[in-house]
């Protein structure tokens, strides 16, 4: 079951590799010039995860976001970095500093998902300037 190259696959991969933050299926669809079916995008993304090209992040909202493996070589994959999920602009970005969680003896760790949510730099300063503006979502 070897992989085949298709325009859709290349387009999605390119998008994710260019992006400086993790993308949801919806974000991918929005940024593509051509229309690709929703299920197809999901399937492409899941295949990328299987193949180790991108990693999956579960956002604070429970949705899946996909990001390139920055700092990963084809040989070494480390996805133990935190993510910052901005509750205003919805950007999910990878932070660089790895985290180390110790788990109880006898447990087997498989995946790690670390997400800090709040306001990113841009939205944080927007917020200072316009504390009572209506544009943003549910932040006091």
- Which residues contact a copy of itself (rule: CB under 8 A)? 58-64, 82, 84, 87, 95, 97, 99, 101-121, 124-125, 127
Determine the 3-state secondary structure of 14 from DSSP.
helix
Binder of residue 130, out of a copy of itself, DNA, none (CB less than 5 to 8 A by kind):
none
For residue 39, the minimal CB distance to a copy of itself (Å) is 18
Q: Give the nearest distance from C-beta 41 to DNA in angstroms.
A: 7
> Which listed option, DNA, a copy of itself, none, makes contact with residue 84 (CB within 5 to 8 Å by class)?
a copy of itself
Tokens representing 68 are: 């390139």
**Secondary structure of residue 47 in the 3-state scheme:** helix
Q: Which residues bind DNA (CB under 7 A)?
A: 1-9, 24-26, 35-40, 42-44, 46-47, 61-64
Residues 41/66, Cβ–Cβ less than 8 Å: no
Minimal distance, residue 81 CB to a copy of itself, in Å: 10
Closest to a copy of itself by CB, 11 vs 27, is 27
Which residues, at least 6 apart from 12, have a Cβ–Cβ distance to it below 8 Å? 28, 32, 36, 41, 44, 45, 48
Cα–Cα separations (whole angstroms), residue 120 to 17, 75, 93: 21, 32, 9
């Amino acid at each position: 079951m070897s992989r085949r190259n298709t325009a859709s696959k290349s387009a999605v991969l390119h998008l994710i590799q260019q992006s400086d933050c993790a993308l949801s299926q919806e974000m991918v669809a929005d940024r593509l010039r051509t229309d690709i079916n929703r299920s197809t995008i999901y399937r492409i993304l899941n295949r990328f995860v299987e193949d180790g090209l991108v990693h999956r992040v579960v956002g604070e909202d429970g949705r899946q976001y996909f990001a390139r493996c920055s700092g990963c070589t084809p040989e070494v994959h480390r996805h133990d970095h935190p993510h910052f999920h901005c509750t205003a602009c919805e950007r999910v970005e990878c932070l660089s500093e790895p985290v180390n969680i110790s788990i109880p003896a006898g447990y087997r760790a498989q995946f790690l998902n670390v997400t800090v949510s709040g306001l990113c730099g841009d939205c944080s300063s927007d917020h200072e300037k316009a504390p009572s503006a209506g544009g943003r979502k549910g932040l006091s």
